Amino acid sequence: MSLLRYSAWRVTQALPVLVGIIAITFFLANQIPGDPVEIMLGPTPAQEQVEAIQAKYGLDRPAHERFITYLTGVATGDLGTSIYYDRPVLEMIILRLPVTLVLMLSAFAFAIITAIPLGVISAKRRNEPADHVSRIVSLIGVSTPSFWIGLVLIIVFAFHLGWFPARGLVLPWADPADVRGAATRFEVLRQAAHHLFLPMIALGTLQMAQITRIERSSMVDSLQGEYVKLARAYGVPESTIVRKHAFQVAQLPVITIVGLGLSTALGGAVLTETVFEIQGMGRLIITAINNQDYELIMGTTFMFGVAYVVGVIITDIAYAYLDPRVTYGDE
Amino acid sequence: MALGNTDTDDVPAEGADGPDEGAGEVEARVGMRYTLAQVKRDTTARIGIYIVGFITAVALFASIDYYILDYAIAEAILYDPESDPDTVRRLLPPFGMENQFGQGVLEHPLGTDHRGRDIFTRLLYGTRVAMTVGFMATTIGLVGGTLIGAVSGYYGGWIDDVLQRATETVYAIPFLVLVIAFMTAFGRDLRFAMIGVGITAIPVFNRLIRSRVVSIREEDYIEAARAAGVKDRNIILRHIIPNSFAPVLVQATLQVGVSILIVAGLSFLGFGAQPPTPSWGQMLSVSRGYMLPAPTFSVWPGLAILITVVGFNILGDGLQDALDPRINN
């Protein structure tokens, strides 16, 4: 099977999971106590108004019928209408998703760029001081709540030192006219980086720590491999062994852990967005919940699931692409 | 090798623990007594035990005071915010520091919160919520995941397919989002936080147990038990699950830490322990409003979470090292 066909097969495999996600979110949304109509119209609405709203949002029909309608809606790209914002759910998601994606991507970039050297050094100098430092850093990293890192960063770097802004985010592709204090594209980019720095560290630290741990143990394994011993016996310089022989093989488990870390990071985005008052998907779901906006709750939960599934598919395909041993399942 | 009878689990037996074990005679790596003996030899695991033990003791003390004495100890010895409303000192800094609200005093070593309550005492009492939630959520995940994983791996076929697709689906929704949605539907208090976080832990234990079961299922002694007419349920409960003890114990220890982190996050967002119950996440949530005038208020609850989770993580890592035959030998 070619890589392309493997990718297509992997996407098809994800479809039942997506339907499952919709079923779970639909079930949970239906359990939410309280009447959405009451929230919209107040405690004593006129009967005609209630009926009109119920008909508009399909609330007068039985649950299984609404589920089928919702499912076909999702299949055609219709996630319903947000009661709170009075706009299509999909429109709200398209507005907010890029913010969360920028945050996630920068957090993972930060995590990977710092974790790989840390892990490699740690493995190369096993049980030396550098290794101990790197292990302590990663232990603290996996044990610290991301939102607390955010609070401490704000206190130190925003309030005390005044180096970075404490809240908000500027998207790199924003129109300079819409960004306060920015006249050119370059200034927009500078502001984007400036705003992104603290949230990126808050969200990325856990991933950094997890990747460092797996990078270390994976490199330790790979440095003990037969091929490394052989290369040493041939007199290949140690730096070449680490760079060319051990490193590449050791990256496969790292990809897996990046894929698994997506779930934590997407959840962490909700917290990071709260701490830094960033208007992304995380804030959207909290707003939806606080206003009992059913369709928006379902839509955002579903999109979080989709983001995770897409992320896992991408890491699976990257794995298959990088690992010559993977046979794409049919040989 | 795995033993046929769980009653003799801590008696050394010969053979290999799992399929990846090398040849030669090794002790049976199952059973509580063996585990304890191994852990005592491992320095990291010991430090983990000290931290976890200390926090558990504090949590027990706080629970007794809360359930039996209705905070009598806290108010009599440690502090009483309502003793004199006129002299309540809000947002005091830690002892030896100064801020706009005054000078830190020794009776409030870590300072006071926005209502003048002693932060140190609230941190101590916050252990109760953290530990209860950590242990309960892990237990729910452990029991649920073990049952699903064991049944799924033992029977295989369509049962396996259905159960595995279902847990995969649960796992596909980022767990903080799933728990928030779950709590919105059923209730925002601590009970549902525990259940919600427990549900998100089910796939983790399911995967672990299932892979063990699949590898143990074909072992000779299971065949023998089946041929002797032992019921499936007894084979799973008496042979397969006890033989997965070591990796499950490691995972459960780590999971307590993870659960504490998730619940702290939930409380920070307003889901979980409701005021006035002291919980670290909720303290952090409140402290957000006073980051500028009283920055140290935000520091302590986070440190408490950090130390607790570090304790569980090094205990888990230490257990893993102690119980992993490959590292041991």
Pinpoint the alpha helices (H) of B110-244: 119-155, 157-172, 175-186, 190-217, 220-227, 232-234
The CA distance from A135 to A213, in Å, is 7
Domains and CATH numbers, chain A: 89-322 (1.10.3720.10)
Task: Please state whether the predicted TM-score (pTM) of the whole model is above 0.90.
Answer: no
- Kind and range of the H or E element at A88? strand A87-88
Helix, strand, coil percentages for chain A (3-state, nearest 5) = 75, 0, 25
Min Cα separation B247/chain A (Å): 18
B288 interaction partners in chain A (CB closer than 8 Å): 151, 275
- Tokens in use for B284? 């952090």
A31 interaction partners in chain B (CB closer than 8 Å): 185-186
CB–CB of B174 and A264 under 8 A? yes
The model's pLDDT over B13-54, given as tens digits with 9 standing for 90+, comes to 333 344 444 433 344 455 567 767 777 777 778 888 899 999
B265 interaction partners in chain A (CB closer than 8 Å): 145-147, 267-268, 271
Q: How far is CA B222 from CA A136, B22, B150, in A?
A: 43, 21, 14
Per-residue pLDDT 10s for chain A (331 aa) are: 677 888 888 888 888 888 889 998 888 888 887 766 776 676 677 777 777 777 776 777 787 888 888 888 888 888 888 888 888 989 999 999 999 999 999 999 999 999 999 998 888 888 888 888 998 999 999 999 999 999 999 999 988 888 988 888 888 887 777 777 777 888 888 888 888 999 999 999 999 999 998 888 888 888 888 888 888 888 888 888 887 777 877 788 888 788 878 888 888 999 999 999 999 999 999 998 888 888 888 899 999 888 888 888 888 888 777 776 655 544 4
Measure CA B89 to chain center. 35
Smallest Cβ distance to B184: which of A21, A275, A289? A289
CB–CB of B165 and A271 under 8 A? no
CB–CB of B186 and A31 under 8 A? yes
Say how many CB pairs under 8 Å bridge A and B: 141
Min Cα separation B265/chain A (Å): 7
B178 interaction partners in chain A (CB closer than 8 Å): 24, 301
CB–CB of B180 and A285 under 8 A? yes
Identity at A75, one-letter amino acid code: A
Min Cα separation B229/chain A (Å): 38
Query: For residues A189 and A176, is the Cβ–Cβ distance under 8 A?
Result: no
User: Could you give phi then psi for residue A88, rounded to 5 degrees?
Assistant: -60, 140
